[in-house]
């Protein structure tokens, strides 16, 4: 079975671990979000690609869900001693090596997709990980900075990098707009459209529907390829009981005018894209609303508490795909 998964960071990576357990013989292609990518200290950092690679390759910091296990921060401390920041973004020494190799290869002319493949040669994630695009796409968030009076730009309306919004501001101010800068001109990376066309099923894990999966779908050609592939497309709600399972998805949903509920996220994707949608058992009451939007819906436990529970979620997603295929 050929499975294509659109993935963001932590939620996508953990789901993939369960999917590999549930379908050990499947050929899994992961299309990774690169809208979170950021250039720091002259290096290209790809948080979502790295989170998938480290999680599936056994190198992730399990408690955080991002960055490397057994990490140290000497380099960051040395940079700070020179007054070189940003201090709010935690890049560890082991993680730095990945960004140095990536930046070196990009500088030598390799596209990001080839670089990602080379990095995965080390981590052997057991899936084919492809960035959504080799072109630069950077998610920016329009905010009005808090009027603290303490910084010169406080009270101003500005577009800031997604990482600044997420990590420095902790999504503490309303996101007024989310803009995947560069997406309109971006092309899907080599292998993306081919994998979708050859897939037996496409899955949307419980990743952020706006800044993760939404950004991937914003690359011209990807949404269309999925809609036209003629294979079941099944998603898992990242919202359980009107709140994100983790992260701050509700903040960015508000920016695109979508309420924070399992049913509203399904409607946001729409029946033109989604065939099936899994909601948590606590949201069983919203199944009817999803079905009346033309999307087959089942209520099953959706908390990724451990690998067994996550594998069961993946099995439910594949079963729903089978069901809609037979419909």
**Residue stretches of the annotated binding site:** 50
- How many residues bind to ligand FO1 according to rule CB under 6 A? 17
Pick 89 or 123: Cβ nearer ligand FO1: 89
Question: Measured between alpha carbons, how far is 186 from 153 in angstroms, rounded to an integer?
Answer: 31
SS3 245: coil
Confirm or reject binding of residue 275 to ligand FO1 (CB under 6 A).
Answer: no
Choice from 8, 131, 206, 244 touching ligand FO1 (CB under 6 A): 8
Nearer to ligand FO1, 105 or 293 (CB): 105
Q: What angle do CA 277, 48, 182 make, to 5 degrees?
A: 90
Sign for the CA dihedral angle at 4, 8, 9, 14 comes to negative
Q: Does residue 48 bind ligand FO1 (CB under 6 A)?
A: yes
Q: Report the Cα 221 to chain-centroid distance in Å.
A: 18
325, exposed or middle or buried, with CB in 10 Å at 0-12, 13-18, 19+? middle
Query: Is 35 an interacting residue with respect to ligand FO1 (CB under 6 A)?
Result: no
Return the residues of window 52-111 that contact ligand FO1 according to CB under 6 A.
66-67, 89-91, 95
- Residue from 145, 159, 167, 324 touching ligand FO1 (CB under 6 A): that is 167
32 binds ligand FO1 (CB under 6 A): no
Closest approach of ligand FO1 to the CB of residue 242, in Å = 21
| 42 alpha carbon, distance to own chain's centre | 24
Under 8 Å between Cβ of 210 and 217: no
CB of 48 to ligand FO1, least distance (A): 5
* Binding of ligand FO1 by 216 (CB under 6 A): no
Residue 47 in contact with ligand FO1, rule: CB under 6 A: yes
Q: What are phi and psi of 3, to 5 degrees?
A: -115, 130
Contact status: 164 vs ligand FO1 (CB under 6 A): no
Burial class (CB in 10 A: 0-12, 13-18, 19+), 285: exposed
| Burial of residue 24, with CB atoms counted within 10 A of its CB: 0-12 exposed, 13-18 middle, 19 or more buried | exposed
**Which region among 128-136, 162-170, 195-203, 277-285 touches ligand FO1 (by CB under 6 A)?**
162-170
Q: Can you tell me the distance from the alpha carbon of 213 to that of 206, in angstroms, rounded to the nearest whole number?
A: 9
Does residue 166 belong to the site contacting ligand FO1 (CB under 6 A)? yes
Q: How far is the CB of 179 from ligand FO1 (least distance, A)?
A: 16
Residues at the site binding ligand FO1, with contacts judged by CB under 6 A: 8-9, 36, 45, 47-48, 50-51, 66-67, 89-91, 95, 163, 166-167
């Amino acid at each position: 079975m050929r499975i294509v998964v659109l993935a963001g960071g932590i939620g996508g990576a953990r789901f993939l671990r369960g999917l590999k357990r549930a379908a050990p013989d499947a050929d899994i292609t992961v299309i990774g979000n690169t809208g979170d990518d950021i250039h720091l200290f002259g290096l290209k950092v790809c948080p979502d690609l790295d989170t998938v690679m480290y999680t599936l390759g056994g190198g992730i910091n399990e408690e955080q869900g991002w960055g490397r296990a057994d990490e140290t921060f000497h380099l960051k401390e040395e940079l700070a001693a020179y007054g070189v920041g940003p201090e709010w973004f935690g890049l560890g020494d082991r993680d730095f090596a990945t960004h140095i190799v990536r930046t070196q290869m990009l500088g030598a002319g390799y596209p990001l997709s080839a670089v990602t493949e080379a990095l995965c040669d080390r981590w052997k994630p057991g899936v084919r990980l492809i960035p959504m695009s080799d072109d630069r796409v950077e998610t920016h968030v329009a905010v009005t900075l808090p009027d603290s009076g303490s910084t010169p730009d406080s009270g101003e309306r500005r577009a800031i990098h997604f990482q600044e919004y997420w990590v420095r501001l902790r999504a503490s101010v309303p996101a007024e707009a989310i803009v995947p800068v560069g997406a309109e001109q971006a092309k899907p990376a080599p292998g993306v459209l081919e994998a979708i066309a050859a897939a037996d099923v496409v899955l949307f894990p419980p990743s952020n529907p706006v800044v993760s999966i939404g950004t991937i779908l914003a690359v011209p050609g990807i949404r269309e390829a999925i809609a036209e592939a003629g294979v079941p497309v099944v998603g898992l709600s990242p919202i359980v009981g009107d709140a994100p399972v983790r992260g701050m998805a509700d903040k960015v949903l508000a920016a695109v005018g979508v309420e924070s509920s399992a049913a509203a996220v399904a409607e946001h994707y729409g029946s033109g894209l989604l065939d099936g949608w899994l909601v948590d058992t606590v949201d069983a009451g919203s199944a009817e609303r999803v079905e009346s939007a033309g999307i087959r819906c089942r209520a099953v436990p959706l908390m990724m508490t451990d690998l067994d529970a996550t594998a069961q979620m993946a099995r439910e997603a594949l079963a729903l795909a089978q069901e809609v295929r037979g419909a």
